[in-house]
Amino acid sequence: MQLLNPTLALVFLPFTLASQVTTLSTRADSDCTSTRIFLAKGNNEPYPGRQGKLVNSICSGLSSCSYEDILFYNPVESVYCDSVFEGTANGINQIIAYNKRCPDTSLVISGYSQGAHIVGDILGGGGGTFFQGCVQGANEPLDVNSAAAKKISAVLIWASTRHTASQPYNVFSGADSQGLFPRPEFQLAALTQWTSVLHDYCVSTDPICAGGDVGATHLNYFDLYSDVAAEWVKTSR
């Protein structure tokens, strides 16, 4: 994926450094647990990416907790829109399938950077024109009244390309800032239905979600905020 300017390149290129990424064992086929976390990774990250630290923080102290990766292909050379469209479709299908298999499990959904775009599209619907003029097809969001939706206890959107200023679920210092591709009103209306279980995390110096100029801000959310976010998730269960 060719990026728009040197600041964005500095943000995305470090995703190639596997040494920065927490490794977990994928548990897509595990037995039912009381809490199930679905992760959508950032651009060019191996599964589960930086959010592995968040999973460890959420599951710490819980007697029954597991996670699975939302599956999609997004190496640096992939077409951004195709990756998001694939991840959104797979994410909806994976969440519904797990809920059918384990209807009593509390569901947590988290996405980072490109994965945050995906999680937002799962809940609010998607589509539009993005990096290099690529066009992403529209999708319908997960039905907020569906059986799976009713078991979603927490949704975490981190450093999203589609962060939109002044939404009721925004948190951190970038709450009133615009990301690279703010959402249209009809998608925001759909997302607002999830406000009680949704946090959209953005720091004001982040180039991706807030138009900031500190690339490191985009990369260190889970080093700094995993425990804080995990406490919120646990109180939402």
Flag whether 70 is in a domain: yes
Measured CA to CA, the distance from residue 227 to residue 229 in angstroms comes to 5
d(CA 88, CA 123): 9
In a domain? residue 1: no
pLDDT tens track for 144-174? 999 999 999 999 999 999 999 999 999 999 9
CATH number of the structural domain spanning residue 47: 3.40.50.1820
Distance, CA of 237 to CA of 226 (rounded, Å): 17
Whether residue 231 lies inside any domain: the answer is yes
User: Residue 61, SS3?
Assistant: coil
Query: Cβ of 39: how many Cβ atoms within 10 Å?
Result: 28
Please write the tens of the pLDDT for every residue from 94-111: 999 999 999 999 999 999
CA distance 56 to 25: 12
Q: What is the pLDDT of residue 100?
A: 98
Tell me, yes or no, whether 166 lies in a domain: yes
Phi then psi for 42, rounded to 5 degrees? -80, 170
DSSP string, 27-46: -TTPPP-SEEEEEEPPTTPP
CA atoms within 13 A on the CB side of 15: 25
CA atoms within 13 A on the CB side of 73: 4
Q: How far is CA 227 from the centre of its chain?
A: 17
What is the rounded average pLDDT of the residues 194-201?
99
Q: Kindly compute the dihedral angle of the four CA atoms of residues 51, 203, 113, 47, in this order, to the nearest 10 degrees.
A: -10
In this structure, the dihedral spanned by the alpha carbons of residues 223, 115, 123 and 138, taken in order and rounded to 10 degrees, is 160
The verdict on residue 116 lying in a domain is yes
Report pLDDT for 19.
Answer: 33
Percentage of the chain modeled with pLDDT above 90? 86
pLDDT in tens, 103-149: 999 999 999 999 999 999 999 999 999 999 999 999 999 999 999 99
* The model's pTM: 0.91
- Could you tell me whether strands 135-139 and 106-112 are parallel, antiparallel, or unpaired per DSSP bridges? unpaired
- Looking at the 3D structure of the chain, how many domains does it have? 1
| pLDDT over 50 (residue 198) | yes
Domain that holds residue 126: 6-236
In a domain, 72, yes or no: yes
